[in-house]
Every structure is written in C-alpha cells, then in structure tokens.
Amino acid sequence: MIADDLLDIDSYRVHPEAHIRINRDVCRPCPHKACTYSCPASCYQWDEKKQKIDFAYEPCLECGTCLLVCDAGALEWNYPRGGFGVRFRLT
C-alpha cells in the first residue's frame, strides 16, 4: 500500500474551531514557506496572488511537522479536543 491509499482510509471528526492558528503577519515575510511543502496532508498552500497562506485544518494528521518547520513562530498548535481530529485506520 502506498501512503495516499493509507490516507484515504483515515477518517476525521472535525471540531468547528481550528486547533491550529496562524499569525499571518508573522507568516507573510517567511522566505521559505516550509509548511507548504512539508505538511503531509497539504493543509498549507501559498497564494502568490494574495501573498498569504491559505490554511485548511480539517485534513490535518496532527503530526506536528508544521510546528517543527515554522521557525518564525507563526503557529499556535494544540491537539483537537477529545474525540475530535484524525482517526487512523489499519487495514
């Protein structure tokens, strides 16, 4: 099985409030935008036209990669409340 196949069998119980918050003023001048290419769920996308990060927390795998690669300190990251978030399934 390849990684995309494994991600397809995960399920999510999404809380209406995001568990990750972005300070876009801190994020905007970042020279490398590491979150956009390191997030395995592609939650972060750089919008060149608007000069801002587009973020979708719903498919987050809660791995913390974005928090590790964000050297600007633009993220406030917490796990979702109990019972919410990603549910990994094994085949």
Judged against a pLDDT cut of 80, whether residue 10 lies above it is answered with no
Tell me the CATH architecture of domain 3-87. Answer: 2-Layer Sandwich (3.30)
Q: Report which of residues 15 and 2 the model is more confident about.
A: 15
Per-residue pLDDT of 42-90, as tens digits, reads 999 999 999 999 999 988 888 899 999 999 999 999 888 888 887 777 5
13 Cβ neighbours under 8 A, 6+ residues apart:
83, 84, 85, 87
Provide the terminal-to-terminal Cα distance of the chain, rounded to the nearest Å: 10
pLDDT 10s digits, 19-40: 999 999 999 999 999 999 999 9
For residue 1, pLDDT over 60 is answered with no
For the chain, domain boundaries: 3-87
Sign of CA dihedral 77, 71, 68, 57: positive
CA distance 63 to 39: 9
* Cα 67 to Cα 72: distance, rounded to the nearest angstrom: 10
